Each structure stands twice: as structure tokens, then as C-alpha cells.
Amino acid sequence: MSDKIPYKIYLEENEIPRQWYNVRADMKNKPAPLLNPGTGKPLGLEELSPIFCEELCRQELDSDTAYFDIPEEIQAFYKMYRPSPLVRAYFLEKALGTPAHIYYKSEGNNTSGSHKLNSAIAQAYYAKKQGLKGVTTETGAGQWGTAMSMACAYFGLDCQVFMVKCSYEQKPFRREVMRTYGAKVTPSPSLTTNVGRKLLEEFPDTTGSLGCAISEAVEAATTQEGYRYVLGSVLNQVLLHQTVIGLETKTALDKYGIKPDIIIGCAGGGSNLGGLVSPFVGEMLRGEADYRIIAVEPASCPSFTRGKFAYDFCDTGMICPLAKMYTLGSQFIPSANHAGGLRFHGMSTILSQLYYDGIIEARAVEQTSVFEAAELFARVEGTLPAPESSHAIRAAIDEALKCKETGEEKTIVFGLTGTGYFDLKAYESFNDGTMSDVIPTDSQIAESLARLPKIE
Amino acid sequence: MSDKIPYKIYLEENEIPRQWYNVRADMKNKPAPLLNPGTGKPLGLEELSPIFCEELCRQELDSDTAYFDIPEEIQAFYKMYRPSPLVRAYFLEKALGTPAHIYYKSEGNNTSGSHKLNSAIAQAYYAKKQGLKGVTTETGAGQWGTAMSMACAYFGLDCQVFMVKCSYEQKPFRREVMRTYGAKVTPSPSLTTNVGRKLLEEFPDTTGSLGCAISEAVEAATTQEGYRYVLGSVLNQVLLHQTVIGLETKTALDKYGIKPDIIIGCAGGGSNLGGLVSPFVGEMLRGEADYRIIAVEPASCPSFTRGKFAYDFCDTGMICPLAKMYTLGSQFIPSANHAGGLRFHGMSTILSQLYYDGIIEARAVEQTSVFEAAELFARVEGTLPAPESSHAIRAAIDEALKCKETGEEKTIVFGLTGTGYFDLKAYESFNDGTMSDVIPTDSQIAESLARLPKIE
């Protein structure tokens, strides 16, 4: 701890970004547009706006504007929990005996427990501004639903959350947080939508799926006057809002003259990774700097490392638009043994294009090794990490250990997306020694990919 | 938000206190000494040191030294989660429409979820320094057990936690956090101690009590070579360690030239309240300043407001020393409907003396009104508070509403001891509308007080 860099680098309140950065503006190869699954043609504002808020549709479709002003009302809310600290992992470095310098951007210091709030408050704001009554959404593990509930409570919007039934029952605490914030939480499938009723008729004992919850939320949004649907990852707009993470990280690093060699983020739909790395990728695309950027995904849901770069449905229900992305096929469902989030079959179109173009790299890690990293991190750094974030911790530790071998004093930055306080079922199975690794077979993936829609 | 004071006042790392402040040094009427229940004589080092670490015994017994240096190893650990922010509750002020300025010192930003870590790390350090193998302790709601587990993991000490059986079963997540930090968590009563075996023989279906868990932990400490017992509240040493809260608060306020009118803390055993108010009480005792200091306790366990200032046992098992304090009687057990902590029958001897001398005041609040305050706070300030902390929120809101009536622009500071992420059973009963208030009758309290030990 003799180093001059403090354990936590806090920015001043006036250093919270006032603009989001749209990395698409600097991409020569733009991410492919969303397609209407019926016509196969790019979706426009008029097709998207019955589902999403208008301003958000504009952000979704805009590949040219480099910066979007963050409205003052959102800036005010950001002050509640931002700037988030960039932490120098002195204790982890010491425990590993590595010459590497490790930093992490810690996004879990808010009740939703993750970075999801950065986009939730933006989406709630635009819904309020449009004069809507409320929004609908789905939640699996519950981070997004909690974030959206908090954001809606702040703006006095109704929030209807369809929560995958097995999570609703197994994660009653998440549900109660949402209820405390005034959200209406419905176990999905439910009797409140046509999709839900139909599914329950066919499979009365189903415990639900994210795909079904999405379909119910979209139906609820489009059949109620004054409602729109909101989504917590994958979309361009979400990555845009999440760039507050990367912009703050860059400001904090610049303040101390630190230049990272490696930037690491976990990758599910891509919201955190995209938000963290966008400003750095921008520098790379403009030829101003060079970094190694590593996406870390679960071996049980390896869309980057074993998926195909192709147009696919964004949902298992096959009602949402088609996106060109690395995908395992919309019917791919990770093993029930897979703990935590990062279970989306596809990946943000922006990140997919960047990976395809060789700007970022990717690796898959197995969950027992992820929880080993999580346990070490919790013990030495004092924060119990979310299973999702722990994928990034695993890769950061692995890179730091390589430095130990080579003696290189590299600077590693990773995103600690959140805390694991509502994920203790997964920790329990790790503590009990009953957690197993789950890796899909080649034929499982091939079978799922065989069902991709036929579009070039 | 036009005010110049930021939403969160963060101190610099080098502004973390380097000394704890011992308010006893400034008290003319010192708190009465602990007595040996057998002899009725004050306890000395030789009697305390088989139970507690030697250095901690010295801190416990020292009423004269005003400042104790914080060892460097503890300072290093404090940097992991300190300085904690002093937050200007702009959003709450706006929601209440009050001219009052409200601040809260937020201690929940660490995985143990509360201020308990401030003393846990100190107690673990002295155990390590003394060359011990480990420590034993008890935990009810789980905040203290979690804090102690984290502290022991840091110093590589064995940590044996006796967790009240009903909590062990109803709060599996707390248990898993402790296990993740390597602690051995045993449901109490257990078969591992004489006390536990005896109790189980007599009452095989008992779900345990804090009193029994204390007795088991003390037995385990004194019958294993190289172990001592640690306690998370009530003791002088604990209040001493917790003064980092008050010292940081004072530094942050001084930085912006803010002079509080009212300082509010929740009170169970007194660790948080004592830590927060000590530096301010010191000023009062030295005649340098004047404040209103309010202890807030649950109406279901009202030791200050309805108890007696007398010598009593610190535990229901009547094996621990006698302390002169405001007490409801060592056999008093709050109703099962009482949610959360703050259920100790007595109160820190320091705070008891200060209350007796009229330096601090106290009030009792009912739990449904506490959860109403908690819900409002969560919605507008973005942090789901612990039920314990919400007692202070309730009183702060009430004082702020009085200012609204009178138009006074008072400055109110309160302690937000922690987050409620592991207390969602209580929130559930509040959300469901099934929570009730529980106030002991006069005869219940009189009956319990009739059993006080006969000592003057």
C-alpha cells in the first residue's frame, strides 16, 4: 500500500459524465440493422415505437451521433450512486503475488446491486417524458427488474415485472425488493396475458423461461394504453447508457496517468462489457491507443467462442426482431446447473461486430473456477461479487498470474458489475461442493444453430 | 440540488481517523465498572482476559485515555470500505417538503452490510496479535457474524459462529456469506457444548435464543486452547472502535462548515449510536458545543425509555458480568413479532450514564411506522435500509416534519447503520400488510425487572 494511488479512486460529483458515448459513430463497419422477421427489411422508427419509447428508438437506430446529452433529471439521479469507485485491488495483488496492477470499476453500490440501474433510470426517464403511465419488463435473476423498479419509483411510473416463475419462487427476496419499490411482480407464465394462458394450458407445470417472460411483457406493453416495454441488455440504447461506466473509468485512470494494458468484462447480452469498453474501443478505432479487450463468457453459454455470427431472433418466442450477432440459436437454453445470469443465447450487435472485426477477444470460463475466483476475491477484497462479475474476476486473476510468471507489470482493469447478495443459492452449492461445470456438446450447439432463420 | 454541498461527501483516504476516541475520558461521571456476579466486585484484567483478548480488556477497562492509536493493519483494512460517505438527503428533503437539512452517515457499503465491521476487524487484529488460533462468537440476525467472518478471513483466523437456530434456518443466505468467508457456522443450541447439550436434552424442539448462543460461544472460547470470545455491541471497547463513524462524520461536516442541531442514531446495545455521537458528546462534555442527541429504540424493546438504571446481567444465561445500565431485565425477550435487531435487554454502560446525566435523550418508535419510513427512504434515496437503521430514519423524518411546521432550517444528522438486503422477510410482512406493532405491557416489564440481581 506504499503506492501513491489510493485504494479507491473517487471522482468528484461534477466529473460524472454529462454525455453518453455512442461507439457506433467511430465504427467503420457498423453493426447490422435489426430486421423485421416478417419482411426481412430493416426496422424503422414507426415499427419500433409501439414497443419502445420514441426517444429510445432514436438512440437505438442512430449509428452516427457520437455523443448524446444525458438529461439533467438523469444526471441528478446518477448522483445518488455515482461516480462509482475505481478500486485498486491492492489486497488481491498481494494475495496473488503478482507484479500486475489490478483495478476494478465497482458498480454494485446501489440497492439493485448492479450496473443495470444506469440504463433503467434512462429508460424510465424517457417513458415519463413521453407521458406514459408505466412500463413492462421481464426479469430472470432479478437485477434488471430491481433496477427498473427503483427507476420507476423515482419517476412515479407504474412498473410491471414478469418474473420467471422459478426465480419468483426461489428468489423471494428479490421479489420483495421490487415490491418495496412499488412494482407489480407477476410470476411468468401468468394468466394475465394470452401468451401466458396458452402456455399454462399446454404445460400447466412449467416453471417458466426468460423467453416466455419477454413475450408476456411485450404483450402487456402493447395491449395496455400508455405502456411501453423496456429491456436491460443487448440493445444499442442500453450499451449507450452504460458508457457512463467506461467514461468514468477513463477519467479516473487519466487522473492518475494510468494506461491500462488489458480491459476485461463479463459478457451476457453485453450491456456491462459494452459500457465499460466503449470509450477505449473508440480510441482504438480512431487509432489513438491500443488495448487488449477481453470478453469473458460462461462455458455453459458460449455465444462468442462457439456461436455463429448470423441473423437470429432475440427471443426464444421468436416474436422479437432479428439481430445479426454471435448466437447459439434462439432455442439454446443453458443447462439448469448454470448459476447466475449471462444466459442469453446471443450478444449485442455492436460487440458482435467488434469481435468479428478482431477489435475485442473472447474466452469462456467454467463456473467452478469462476466461484473459486469469487471466493478469493470476497475474502481479500471484502466484497462478495455477483456470479456474473466473477467471470471477469477469473480472467483478471488468470492474466495477473501470467504476469507473475513473466514478471511483467501489466495494468489490468476489469468491471465488477455487482454484488452477489441475492445469489447465495449458487454460493451455497459451491460451498457444499455440489456445483458442477456444464459445457454444451458440439452436437447440442450444432442442432440449435441448425434452426437459425434463413437470412443473408 | 442547487446547494453547493455535494450529494455525497467523501473524505480522502488520509482523512480516515488514525485514533479512536474514548469518550469516557471526558465524562465526569464515569460509567460504572463491570462486576463479578459471584463476588460483586469490579472485574480486573486477570478475570476478563481468559474470555477476551488482553489488549481488548485493557481498552474495556480504561476510562482515562482519551485517544487510542488505530494500528496500521486495521487502518489498511479500513481503506477497503472507508471513509464511508456522509450523504446529504436532498431527495428525502424534497419528498418531505422540509426546510431542514438532512445528512446520513452511510455504513452499509461493505459485504457485512453494516457498521459492525469497524469493530470486528479490530477484535480480529488483537486476537491475531496475541497469537490466537481463532475466536468464537454468536450471531442473531447475522450482521455481526458476517462482519466477524470477514475480519477473520482477512487475518487467517478460525471463526466459530453460534447462530441462533431459527435464524440459521430462516436466514440461509447470511449463513452462506459466513461460510464463503470460511467461518464455521453452528446452529445453536448445538451438541458441541455442555450448555447446548443440556438445553437440547431439556427442550429438544427449541429454536434457540441469543442468550443461549452467547453461553455456547463463551464455553467454546474458554474450553479450546488458543481461542477467545468476541462480542459486537454493548462493550466499551466496541463503542471505542465505532467512533470512526463519528470522527469521520465530524470531519466531513467541519469541511463544509456544517454544524448539526440534532444527531440521531438507533439504539440496541449502543455500538452504532455510541460510535456516531461520541465525538459530539465529547464537545458537549468539554463545554465546546451543544447538540440534541436522540437515541431511537424499538417500542418492543424499550430499555432507555421504560427500563431501569441498575446492575444487571449482560446475558439471559446469567453467566456474564454484571453491568450498570438501562435494562428491561436479563430475562426480557421481545415479542416474536419484533423484526430485525435492537433486541438486547440492556444498553451500553457509557450511553446509559450519558442518558442518566441528561446528555442524550431517547424515544421509542413502533415498527410499522419504522417500515413506513424505510419504504419512503428506499424509494427516494435509493438504498434499502436495514430495519435497525430505519428507527433512526423514522426519528429523522419526524424531526424534519416538525421543521416543516415551524419553518426552522435545522440540520439533522443520522446514522444509516446498514442495508436491509438480508432482512427481506421483515419487508415481506410489511408489504403484505401483516406486520403488527408489539408493545410490552407495564406488568410484563415490571415482572422482568423484579428479577434484577440485588446489588447496589
The interface predicted TM-score (ipTM) is 0.94
Please give the grid coordinates belonging to residue A286.
Answer: 480512431
**Contact in structure between B163 and B185 (CB atoms under 8 Å):** yes
Contact B427 A383 (CB under 8 A): no
**Contact in structure between A451 and A329 (CB atoms under 8 Å):** yes
Contact A382 B76 (CB under 8 A): no
Nearest neighbour of B180 by CB, restricted to A80, A153, A427: A427
pLDDT at B367 over 50: yes
| φ, ψ for residue B292, nearest 5 deg | -95, 125
> How many whole angstroms separate alpha carbon B355 and alpha carbon B361?
6
pLDDT at B21 over 80: yes
Task: Please state the length of chain B.
Answer: 456
Q: What band does B169 get if pLDDT is binned at 50, 70 and 90?
A: confident
> How many whole angstroms separate alpha carbon B365 and alpha carbon A344?
47
**Contact in structure between B158 and B133 (CB atoms under 8 Å):** yes
User: Cα–Cα distances in Å, from B169 out to B164, B172, B348?
Assistant: 9, 6, 30
> How many whole angstroms separate alpha carbon A399 and alpha carbon A373?
13
Contact A110 B421 (CB under 8 A): no
Bridge partners (DSSP) of residue A293 are A263
CB-based contact, B181 to chain A, within 8 Å: yes
pLDDT digits (tens, 9 = 90+) for A370-386: 999 999 999 999 999 99
Name the DSSP class of A185.
E
Please give the grid coordinates belonging to residue B311.
Answer: 446492575
Q: What is the pTM of this model?
A: 0.96
**pLDDT value, residue A2:** 42
3-state helix, strand, coil in chain B (%, to 5): 45, 15, 40
Report the alpha-carbon angle B93-A109-A60, nearest 5. 95
DSSP sequence for B86-146: EEE-HHHHHHHT-SSEEEEEE---STT-BTTHHHHHHHHHHHHHTT-SEEEEEESSSHHHH
| φ, ψ for residue A197, nearest 5 deg | -60, -45
Name the DSSP class of A35.
B
**Contact in structure between A307 and A326 (CB atoms under 8 Å):** yes
> How many whole angstroms separate alpha carbon A22 and alpha carbon A350?
10
SS3 A287: coil
pLDDT digits (tens, 9 = 90+) for A395-411: 999 999 999 999 999 99
CB-based contact, B424 to chain A, within 8 Å: yes
Chain B residues with beta carbon closer than 8 angstroms to that of A177: 384, 421, 424, 427
Burial class (CB in 10 A: 0-12, 13-18, 19+), A456: exposed
- Mean pLDDT, residues B58-72 taken together: 98
The enclosing H or E element of A392 equals helix A387-406
Task: Please state the length of chain A.
Answer: 456
CB-based contact, B284 to chain A, within 8 Å: no
- Mean pLDDT, residues B139-149 taken together: 93
Contact A13 B13 (CB under 8 A): no
**pLDDT value, residue A349:** 98
Contact B13 A7 (CB under 8 A): yes
Which residue on chain A is closest to B382 by alpha carbon? A111
> How many whole angstroms separate alpha carbon B177 and alpha carbon B183?
9
pLDDT at B224 over 80: yes
> How many whole angstroms separate alpha carbon B349 and alpha carbon B412?
26
Name the DSSP class of A232.
S
Nearest to A113 by CA among A387, A435, A393, A413: A387
Contact B379 A153 (CB under 8 A): yes
Please give the grid coordinates belonging to residue A261.
Answer: 494494458
Query: Residues with Cβ < 8 Å from A19, sequence gap 6 or more?
Result: A67, A68, A69, A70
> How many whole angstroms separate alpha carbon A216 and alpha carbon A55?
23
**pLDDT value, residue A456:** 59
Nearest to B62 by CA among B23, B119, B19, B17: B23
A206 to chain B, minimum CA–CA distance in Å? Answer: 25
Q: Cell numbers 464455521 correspond to what residue?
A: B184
Chain B residues with beta carbon closer than 8 angstroms to that of A107: none
Chain B residues with beta carbon closer than 8 angstroms to that of A72: none
> How many whole angstroms separate alpha carbon A279 and alpha carbon A413?
13
CB atoms within 10 A of CB B445: 18
- Mean pLDDT, residues B152-180 taken together: 93
Name the DSSP class of A285.
H
A403 to chain B, minimum CA–CA distance in Å? Answer: 24
Contact A181 B111 (CB under 8 A): no
> Is beta strand A322-327 parallel, antiparallel or unpaired with respect to A308-313?
antiparallel
Contact A109 B109 (CB under 8 A): yes
Interface test with A, best of B384, B419, B428, B435 (most A CBs within 10 A): B384
Interface test with A, best of B75, B78, B109, B111 (most A CBs within 10 A): B111
Nearest neighbour of B384 by CB, restricted to A111, A379, A427: A111
As a whole number of Å, the CA-based R_g of chain A is: 21
| Mean per-residue pLDDT over chain B, rounded | 94
Chain B residues with beta carbon closer than 8 angstroms to that of A431: 176, 179-180
pLDDT digits (tens, 9 = 90+) for A233-288: 999 999 999 999 999 999 999 999 999 999 999 999 999 999 999 999 999 999 99
Please give the grid coordinates belonging to residue B98.
Answer: 422540509
Low-confidence ranges of chain A (pLDDT < 70): 1-3, 456
User: Cα–Cα distances in Å, from A231 out to A28, A37, A62, A136?
Assistant: 27, 19, 18, 9
